[in-house]
Structure 1
């Protein structure tokens, strides 16, 4: 069993400037789902690669960090620091 929750930033290899932020317990399976077109929000910008992934032991903190990265200030932080 996986003890981590991952907040990840995907970068599109086909759409310049295409990024996606998400949260998962299984990073490799989630990337495969994005690249297979199984996520409607990202299907048109395939293929994707992982730009950044941060592991959290506390899923609540991971969800809060994901929410932050989806905010305007979090997007700016992600572009500059991650």
Structure 2
């Protein structure tokens, strides 16, 4: 099964997205699973497939994962609207 991984760092935290056809999309923070999405189709570049509020250093942050999959799977991780890792859309 093909899989796609994207990793990024933000304020001392590691964020990783792992996507496979069988298991769907998983978002990890420092190795801990924080969200799991099993949608099979994503054709919107502008709507996050995952949006999660987390606390980093006593500040609430919005982590968003965007997936655009038509011919290939492209993934972006954004925190508070700023891309920290992933493909260019």
- TM-score normalised by structure 1 residue count: 0.30
- TM-score normalised by structure 2 residue count: 0.29
Higher relative contact order (CA 8 A, sep 6+): 1
The structure with the largest strand share of the pair is 2
